[in-house]
Structure formats: C-alpha cells, structure tokens
Amino acid sequence: MTRVYLDHNATSPLRDEARSAMVAAMDVVGNPSSVHSEGRAAKMLVEHARVQVAELVGCLPTQVVFTGSATEAAALAVAQKERHGGRFVSLPTEHDCFLAWDDEQVDDGSFALRAISAANSETGVLAANGAVCANTDLDQAGVVVCDITQIAGKLPVVYSENGKPSYMILSAHKLGGPKGVGALINFTADDPQAILRGGGQEMGRRSGTENVIGIAGFGAAAQAAKRDVESGAWERVAQLRNILEKTLETEAKTTIFVGKDAPRLPNTSCILTAGWKGETQVMQMDLAGFAVSAGSACSSGKVRASRVLTAMGYDDELAACAIRVSLGLSNTEDEVLRFAEAWLQKLKKHEARAA
C-alpha cells in the first residue's frame, strides 16, 4: 500500500514550482556578488525571490534577509537584543531555536525582546486570533520577534491593529520550498547587526555567498503558497482535519483533541490518548504506512514529555501520550479515513492490552 505523509508541519513536500525554479537556477553560473553579466544574472534570481517572499508576508523586499534556516534567522533576531533592553525572553511553548537563547527562566515583565509564535507547531493553536503578534507596550514589556514559520503559506499573514512585530522568522521547507533556507523579516528602522561576518552579503546583514538555488526555490514556493492561500485551498484541508477528528471521536471516547475549541491552523490535529505513548503510536502508524509525529520530543535518545503540553497544564505522563497529524494540500479524504481506520484498530489493541 502506498505510504501516506501526514507530517507537513515538520516539512512539506517540495512544490513543482520550487523544483523548476531550482533546476533553472542550477544553470546560472555567476556569483551574485560579482559585477559581470553572469554575477548580475545570479543576483537577479536572489532579488526576484526576495520580492516573492516579501509579497507572501506583506513587507518590503529590503526587509527580507535570507538565512540558512529559520533557526539562524531566530539567532540573528535575538542577537539584536542589546537594542531592545538587553534581554531576551520566550514562553515555554516556543521553539527550541528561541528557548536556547533565553536569558531567564522567569520573565519578570521588564523591558526585553520577546519571542512569540503566531501558531504553535504541535497544537496548531493561533496567537492573537490569527493576527501576527504586534510589538508589546514599549514602555513596559519590549518588542517582539514573531515566529510565522507555521502560518506562512497556510493562512494570510495579517497584522494586529496595534502594529507589526520588530522581527519575524520563516522557513522555506514549511511551505513547499527546499530545506536549508529561511529568512528574517526586519521591520525596525535599523539593519540587524550581522552574526555571520565576512564578505558583507545580504547588504551587510548576513555574510556568506547566497544559496542562489535554494533562494530561488524559496521564492517560487512563496509565490505558489500565496496563491493557494488566496484561493482558499486550505479550507478543504480544514474540512479533512475535521473529518479525521469526528471519525476518531466515534470510538476514541477518552481521546483529547488539544486546542480543538481554539482558533488553530487548518491542517493540524494534536491527538492525546492517556496511557498510549506518543512514540509508540508513531512507530505503529509508521509500520502501517502513515507518517505522523509525536507530541513528545527526543534529545540524545531520551524521550521527554512535550513541554508545550505541560506548559498548557497537562501532567508529564499525559503530555507524553500525544501525536500530531498535520495535513497538506495533497492529502485526500481517502487517505485521512484510511489513517483513522488504522489508528482506531491500533487503539482497540492498546485498550485490550491495558484491560
């Protein structure tokens, strides 16, 4: 039986548009920093992609800084903290690329640069009812770097009426572009101070020869993703997600669908079943031909309870019993129902063993 991929929040399959753009970019020989014709041709690809990404997120092309990943973009944003109170803080539900830089475990409310995700990767729950997080009260709390990695390409990037964040980060491979390229969006009046220093590429904001092939794919994916969002393509995905949850609810009476009653991404279902370890479910579904992910995280081979779920109030034992199903535009109702049937069969076996 053909395998079914249901882990789009981890990475989304490469779009045809991105693949075509990357293949074409492979034949462009010049270095984008060179001034001859070949170099200018490569530079043109980079700048065209910069416009495409800017149009997806609603910013100026000059505000887009290409990086090697969203993780690098996060590090570049955090490196600007001296301009914003000298401290960086993030919620326990944030991605590790932010938590690794936390100055303090407890936020005392003083002026600082703060990380806030527009949508949580594990649960799909949106912040600020889907609006990208605006800067907080500058007299009290500080400014915001907003992670839009999960909403970009799935929902319109809509800004709060209170304004835009100071920085945003996103990644190509979450929206059908290649792995290994991301971007920092800088809404401040000052260019970010580079953490990678050298040749002064990206207008001095990030040194290192640009990944022209990856950037071309990023731009093409961003353009295609924008078109899909505007056409309402993700509404069908939301319907599939709802079909999945309703089907599981018929027999999984004690299963919790985390964030179900909150505004969330159209494609994400966090499924929590007490006593059934998330990593066990992932392995069982993998053997059955379905790729999903666990709500728990692995570090050096040690499985931990999801810190996102524990931060939401679930105890460690329960927080270790979640899986995430994240759908994509290519998934079908037949695939969703096949997954539901396979998962329910495994649930019955689990309940029989536990009885």
Mean pLDDT across 106-112: 68
Same structural domain for residues 171 and 114?
yes
Tell me, yes or no, whether 90 and 166 share the same domain: yes
pLDDT surpasses 80 at 137: no
Cα separation, 171 vs 41, whole angstroms = 24
If pLDDT is split at 50, 70 and 90, which confidence band does 135 have? confident
In angstroms, the CA 191 to CA 85 distance is: 17
Higher pLDDT, 264 or 301: 264
| Domain membership flag for residue 3 | no
Q: What is the per-residue pLDDT for 265?
A: 97
My answer on whether 115 and 133 are in the same domain is yes
- As a whole number, mean pLDDT of residues 171-200 equals 96
> Which among 87-101, 126-140, 219-233 has the top mean pLDDT?
219-233
Range of the structural domain that residue 285 is part of: 232-354
Tell me, yes or no, if the pTM score tops 0.85. Answer: yes
Q: Are residues 127 and 223 in the same domain?
A: yes
> Cβ(132)–Cβ(146) under 8 Å?
yes
Domain count, the chain: 2
Percent of the chain with pLDDT over 90: 82
Residue 298 belongs to some domain of the structure: yes
Are 211 and 137 found together in one domain?
Answer: yes
CATH number, domain with residue 275: 3.90.1150.10
pLDDT tier, 106 (very low <50, low <70, confident <90, very high otherwise): low
Among 210, 229, 248, identify where a domain stops: 229
Does residue 7 lie within any of the structural domains? Answer: no
CB 97, CB 145: distance < 8 Å: no
- Given this model, what pLDDT does residue 306 score? 87
Say yes or no to pLDDT of 139 above 60: no
Does residue 208 surpass a pLDDT of 90?
yes
Residue 128, pLDDT above cutoff 90: no
Q: Are residues 221 and 239 in the same domain?
A: no
- What is the pLDDT averaged over residues 193-208? 93
Q: Which pLDDT does position 354 carry in this prediction?
A: 83
The answer to whether position 11 is within a domain reads: no
Domain boundary among 174, 195, 229: 229
pLDDT at 160: 86
- What is the amino acid identity at position 314? Y
- 159/181 same-domain check: yes
Question: Are 148 and 101 found together in one domain?
Answer: yes
Same domain for 181 and 36: yes
Residue 2 lies in a domain: no
In this model, does residue 215 exceed pLDDT 70?
yes
Query: Is a pLDDT exceeding 50 seen at residue 302?
Result: no
- What CATH number is given to the structural domain containing 197? 3.40.640.10
Residues 240 and 215 occupy one common structural domain: no
Q: Is the pLDDT of residue 156 over 50?
A: yes
pLDDT at position 82 over 80: yes
Residue 138 has a pLDDT of: 45
Domain assignment present for 276: yes
Does 200 lie in the same domain as 106? yes
Give the Cα separation of 163 and 34 in Å (integer).
38
The 10s digit of each residue's pLDDT in 35-74 is 999 999 999 999 999 999 999 999 999 999 999 999 999 9
Sheet holding 293-294, edge to edge: 256-258, 268-272, 322-326, 293-294
Beta-sheet strands, E only, within the chain: 4-5, 64-67, 88-90, 112-117, 131-132, 142-147, 158-159, 167-171, 182-186, 256-258, 268-272, 290-291, 293-294, 297-299, 302-304, 322-326
In a domain, 10, yes or no: no
Are residues 195 and 298 part of one domain? no
Collect all residues with Cβ–Cβ distance below 8 Å to 96 and sequence separation of at least 6: none
* Residue 111 pLDDT level (bands cut at 50, 70, 90): confident
Concerning whether 298 is annotated as a catalytic residue, the answer is yes
Out of 97, 133, 298, 321, the active site residue is: 298
Q: Is residue 6 part of a domain?
A: no
Averaged over 341-345, what is the pLDDT? 98
Q: Does 299 have pLDDT greater than 90?
A: no
Instruction: Look at strands 268-272 and 256-258 and give their pairing.
Output: antiparallel
Confidence of residue 298 (pLDDT cuts 50, 70, 90): very low
Listed residues 197, 229, 261: the one ending a domain: 229
Q: How many whole angstroms from its chain centre is CA 184?
A: 13
